[in-house]
Structure 1
Amino acid sequence: MAELKKTVLMVHLDSEQEQLWSSALESQNLVVSCQSSAIDLVELLDSMQQSGDPIPGLILVDSGLKAPDSQTLQSSSVCQWGAKNSPALKVVLFNPRQDKIKSIEQSWAVRRGAADVLPRLNSENLVASVARVVSLMGAVLEQSSLEAIANSMPGTAPEVPPTTNYFAPIEDVDDQPEESELESESEYYEPVPRRRRKPKPGLIYRGVKVKK
């Protein structure tokens, strides 16, 4: 009996990156299921579970994906669903608006239950980024296939500044900065001394200043 291929469910906001991820993951003998950015992932997972359809082994979702008719990010709700209903499900966030992931973004995602956060794919990080997903899937890496894709890409794309802080806290008490963090930040900001205004020129007559 042929071994059942492992499935990665993806939701991207960047069509170019979606195509690149699809090609890279399919080169690793993984089944890729691309979903519309208008989908509600929790509803999809509930439907799959109720109908008895197999839950994907990993979900790769854009960190900026919002719920339909809402400004709420879907990443947190998907991680919560996985922890409650399918602990084996891995959730990896993807931020195509940055070429490097900051440590604070990494911590933000891990606290919510994500396995990792990956940056925009380019010729330099493609092998390492896809290898991370393959490792989480428990699959065997076909590095030569990834190197061929990376070599066919142009040089590293210029850094794209994020238009939205997709890792900003969303009404979460745990996201409030700790006192130690605030104290460390205060070291970089020293109070600016106020300047005293110079008195305007004039005449002094018996202790009273008279304007000219």
Structure 2
Amino acid sequence: MTDIVVVIQKSSSQSEIWTRLLRSQGLVVIQESPEVNLRKLLQEASEAHQILPKLIIVEMSIEKLNPYEFCRWTHQNHPDLKVILTAQERIQVSEIEQRWAKNQGAYQLLPGFDYGHLPLSLTQGMELVMLALDKTDWEPASLVPLVEELTAEFGNNGEEKTFLQASEDVAEETALSSETTETHQESVAASSSHKRRGLKVKPKVKRFRGLPY
């Protein structure tokens, strides 16, 4: 019987990448909207005696989802169903965060695909999925053509920054700009004060080591 994997992502590109990766290995993929009520979906499928998915790959920042509460509920009510949480705006998550996610019932917590290092990111993600599905006989080499295709479409060789990296850079530049502005304002204020008191303001001269000053 073919395994069913449900994919729920906020990012259309992340969703498409997951879907194409999974289907390349013969898995049945169901893409659901971020608006879906996952618990209700599983309850209705179970009551109707429908085949349940073996794995759910869901973005943890979805607004209407409490990811850890859902993982605890799933672990208690559908112990054979595994949940992989993703953090799409990050390219790295700590081991502490991953341990916490596992303690809450998740199979694993993954960062989003790193578009700057897409081949490695794709391979690692797929290896985890196949391990979760107990498919130890799959051939990673079979991914090569698709990985090359996806890299050509979505990869940027590190030239484009992730949302989080860009946000951090903007914050850093803003802080530096504010610091420079404050320093300039203090200098102007001190100069004005000296002038009011009739004092001469000496320009600051940079001194370099080794020069005869």
The bucket for the TM-score relative to the shorter chain is 0.5 to 0.7
Partner Cα separation in structure 2 for residue 75 and residue 134 of structure 1 = 22
Structure 1 position 94 matched with structure 2 position 91: no
Q: Find the aligned partners of 2:146 and 2:81 in 1 and give their Cα distance.
A: 27
**Residue in structure 2 matched with residue 77 of structure 1 by the alignment:** 69
Distance 1:10 1:74, change over 3 A: farther
Give the number of aligned pairs.
156
Which moves more between the two structures, 5-14 or 131-140? 131-140
Q: Could you say which residue in structure 1 is the equivalent of 2:189?
A: none
Q: Within 1, Cα distance between the matches of 2:165 and 2:79?
A: 31
Q: With structure 2 as the length reference, what TM-score do the two structures score?
A: 0.67
- Report the identity percentage: 26
Distance 2:146 2:111 in 1: 17
TM-score, with structure 1 as normaliser: 0.68
**Runs of 4+ deviating beyond 6 Å:** none
Instruction: Say which SS state the counterpart of residue 164 (structure 2) adopts.
Output: coil
Please report how far the alpha carbon of residue 94 of structure 1 lies from its aligned counterpart in structure 2 after TM superposition.
Answer: 0.9
- CA offsets per residue over residues 77-114 of structure 1, 9 Å max, x none? 32122222211111100111111112232133112110
Structure with more helix by fraction: 2
Aligned to 1:21: 18
Q: Give the structure 1 partner of residue 59 of structure 2.
A: 62
SS of structure 2 residue aligned to 1:130: helix
Match of 2:131 in 1: 135
Aligned to 1:9: 6
Q: Give the alignment's Cα RMSD to 1 decimal.
A: 2.0
Question: Which of 87, 99, 103 in structure 1 is aligned with 2:95?
Answer: 103
- Whether contact under 8 Å (1:131, 1:141) holds in the other structure is no
Q: Which of the residues 121, 128, 132 maps onto 1:125?
A: 121
What residue ranges of structure 1 are gaps of 5+ in the alignment? Answer: 68-72, 164-212
Give unpaired runs (5+ residues) of structure 2. Answer: 167-213
